[in-house]
Chain A
Amino acid sequence: MKPEAKKGHAPAALVRAVKCTKCGAPIELRNVQSLSVVCGSCGSVLDARDPSLAVLATVHRQNKRVPMIPLGSKGRLKGELFQCIGFMTRKTYIEGSDYFWNEYLLFNPYKGYRWLVEYQGHWTSVKPAHLTPEASGSGYLFFGEFYKHFQTCQAQVWYVIGEFYWQVEAGDKATLEDYVCPPNILSLEKAPGETSWSVGTYVEGREVWEAFALAGDPPAPSGIAPAQPSPTGSDGAKVWAHMAAFLLIALLIHGLIDSISLKKRVYMNSFQYSSAETEKSKVTDFFELPGRTSNVIVRTSAAVDNHWLFNAYALINEQTGTAYDFGREVGYYHGVDDGEAWSEGAQVDEVVLSSVPAGKYYLRIEPQTDLPQVTYTVEVRRDEPQFFVFGIVVALLLLPPIVLQFRQHSFEVRRWAESDHPMTEEE
Chain B
Amino acid sequence: MSSSSCPSCGAPLEIKTRAALLLVCAYCNSTLLRQEQRIEDLGKMALLQEDGSPLQLGARGEHRGKPFEVVGRIQLDYPSGFWNEWFVSFGGAREGWLGEGQGQYTMTFLEQRPVSVPGWVELHTGKTLRLNGVSFKVTEVSKARCVAGAGELPFEVDTGYEAPVADLAGPGTAFATLDYSEKPPLVFIGERVEFDDLKMTNLRAFEGWS
Contacts and interface: CB of A to CB of B under 8 A. Distances in A.
Interface of A: 1-5, 7-15, 31-33, 35, 49, 74, 81, 107-113, 128, 130-132, 134, 165-166, 193-195
Given A2-B57, A108-B103, A8 B207 contact: no
B27 interface: yes
27 contacts: A2-B56, A2-B151, A3-B26, A5-B57, A11-B206, A11-B210, A12-B50, A12-B205, A31-B52, A33-B51, A35-B80, A49-B81, A74-B208, A108-B209, A109-B52, A109-B206, A110-B203, A111-B195, A113-B103, A130-B194, A131-B192, A132-B169, A132-B172, A132-B174, A134-B171, A166-B80, A195-B139
Contacts of B210: 11
Interface string B102-130: 11100000000000000000000110000
Contacts of A49: 81
Interface in B80-100: 80-82
Contacts of A8: 56, 202-205
Contact of A15 (B101, B200, B207): B207
A81 B204 CA distance: 16
B207 A110 contact: no
B58 interface: yes
A11 B205 contact: yes
Given A32-B50, A194-B140, 4 more contacts: A1-B26, A12-B205, A112-B104, A166-B80
In the complex, the 5 A-B pairs of residues with the closest C-beta atoms, listed nearest first? A112-B103, A32-B52, A11-B205, A5-B58, A4-B56
A74 to B, nearest CB: 8
A229 to B, nearest CB: 24
A166 B51 CA distance: 15
Interface in B13-28: 26-27
A68 B204 CA distance: 32
A33 to B, nearest CB: 5
A33 B208 CA distance: 17
B76 interface: no
Contacts of B27: 3
A130 B192 contact: yes
A204 to B, nearest CB: 24
A10 B204 CA distance: 9
Contacts of B50: 12, 32
Nearest to B200: A110
B147 interface: no
Interface string B161-175: 000000001111110
Contacts of B43: none
A111 B57 CA distance: 19
Interface string B42-59: 000000001110101110
A33 B102 contact: yes
Interface of B: 26-27, 50-52, 54, 56-58, 80-82, 101-104, 125-126, 139-140, 150-151, 169-174, 192-196, 200, 202-210
A192 to B, nearest CB: 10
Contacts of B54: 109-110
B56 A7 contact: yes
Nearest to B137: A132
Nearest to B101: A33
Contacts of A31: 52
Nearest to B50: A32
A9 B58 CA distance: 13
A4 B172 CA distance: 35
Nearest to B136: A132
Given A14-B207, A15-B207, A110-B54, A5 B202 contact: yes
A131 B81 contact: no
A32 B207 CA distance: 13
Nearest to B170: A132
A14 B206 contact: yes
Q: Which of A12, A74, A108 has the most CB of B within 10 A?
A: A12
Contacts of A195: 125-126, 139
Contacts of A32: 50-52
Nearest to A192: B125
A5 to B, nearest CB: 4
A120 B208 CA distance: 33
Contacts of A33: 51-52, 81-82, 101-102
A132 B81 CA distance: 22
Contacts of A74: 208
B177 to A, nearest CB: 15
